[in-house]
Amino acid sequence: MITLATLHRTVRAALEEDAPWGDLTSTSLLPAEARATADLGAREPGVFSGGDVFAAAFTLTDPTVEVDLHVADGDRFEAGDVLASVQGSARSILTAERVALNFTQRMSGIATLTAAYVDAVDGTGVRIADTRKTTPGLREFERHAVVSGGGSNHRRSLSDAVMAKDNHLAVLRQQGQDLGSALRDALSRLPHTTHVVVEVDRVDQITAVLTGGADTVLLDNFSLEDLRAAVDQIAGRATAEASGGVNLDTVRAIAETGVQVISVGALTHSARALDLGLDVRVG
């Protein structure tokens, strides 16, 4: 969920970036009293996300602008659908237009890609999750978009869970420390509510991870055969999560190995902006 403070701070920063000294074109060309009504139209099908962000771009520019959202976050739409309408000062609407579109196109693109992954694993019970591979400063917006598309959020930040990855394990080996012992020692010092995830890239690493008390075993770049073997070995003692080598062509087969979670960095780092446009009504 995007907090109001985060929403306003991020949108204000984007508006200031786009018009640091005002909108030179609108203020010099358009009469101050000119009013306009504009529609947010879909030029391709998708899943909507970012309604509150879209509205904030206009209302933070000018509180008198009225925004009417015709769809909710998570709704699917077709090309040609009108997703929202905006009315008020023409100058204000055109000043906020690009920022509003940039956010909504980006977020709807993420939601649409996420929905494609969720659809691909339908019926398996597997969760599709995001990662920390997000645009700096926009993580909360992009995580929200993943949820709009039916996906799940992974840990929010480095402060929210223990997640020991390959480089952490390499340092432990360099220091001559046993993984199982290091995990047990860490758990003894952590709050009992802390979730612990450990990434492995070989089946023979799993025993130490389970012995150490990890809550989730992250199976990185495993073959389908090794994923099935890993799920059998974990045997419900921890959550089995798969990552690496995941795309829309492979995700179904990965889900059918028995893992409970598949994390997909592409949801946020590779989603393209959806083609949406804001068109002023004429006549």
CATH of the domain at 138: 3.20.20.70
- What's the pLDDT at 37? 97
pLDDT (tens digit, 9 = 90+) per residue, 36-72?
Answer: 999 999 999 999 999 999 999 999 999 999 999 999 9
Q: How many residues does the chain have?
A: 283
Same structural domain, 113 and 123: no
- What's the pLDDT at 283? 53
Q: What are phi and psi of 146, to 5 degrees?
A: -60, -45
Smallest CA-to-CA distance from 205 within 168, 180, 225 is with: 180
- What's the pLDDT at 39? 98
pLDDT (tens digit, 9 = 90+) per residue, 188-247?
Answer: 999 999 999 999 999 999 999 999 999 999 999 999 999 999 999 999 999 999 999 999
Same structural domain, 148 and 81: no
Same structural domain, 107 and 166: no
137 token code pair: 């400063």
Decide: pTM greater than 0.75: yes
User: What does the chain look like in DSSP terms, one character per residue?
Assistant: ---HHHHHHHHHHHHHHH-BTB-HHHHHHS-TT-EEEEEEEESS-EE---HHHHHHHHHHH-TT-EEEESS-TT-EE-TT-EEEEEEEEHHHHHHHHHHHHHHHHHHHHHHHHHHHHHHHTTTS-PEEE--S---TT-HHHHHHHHHHTT-B---SSTTSSEEE-HHHHHHHHHTT--HHHHHHHHHHHS-TT--EEEEESSGGGHHHHHHHT-SEEEEES--HHHHHHHHHHHTTSSEEEEESS--TTTHHHHHTTT-SEEE-THHHHSPPPP-EEEEE---
Same structural domain, 137 and 91: no
Same structural domain, 99 and 194: no
pLDDT (tens digit, 9 = 90+) per residue, 86-134?
Answer: 999 999 999 999 999 999 999 999 999 999 999 999 999 999 999 999 9
If you average pLDDT over residues 175-192, what whole number do you get?
87
Same structural domain, 235 and 263: yes
Same structural domain, 265 and 125: yes
Same structural domain, 86 and 125: no
Same structural domain, 95 and 125: no
- How many folded domains does the chain comprise? 2
Same structural domain, 82 and 24: yes
How does residue 179 score in pLDDT terms, banded at 50, 70 and 90?
confident
Same structural domain, 70 and 143: no
Same structural domain, 45 and 124: no
Q: Which domain holds residue 31?
A: 4-117+272-280
pLDDT (tens digit, 9 = 90+) per residue, 236-275?
Answer: 999 999 999 999 999 999 999 999 999 999 999 999 999 9
Provide the CB-side half-sphere exposure for 87 (13 A, CA).
5
- What's the pLDDT at 277? 98
The CATH number of residue 9's host domain is 3.90.1170.20
Asked if 153 and 147 count as a contact pair (C-beta separation under 8 A), the reply is: yes
- What's the pLDDT at 172? 85
How does residue 147 score in pLDDT terms, banded at 50, 70 and 90?
very high
Task: Give the catalytic positions in this structure.
Answer: 98, 133, 165, 199, 220
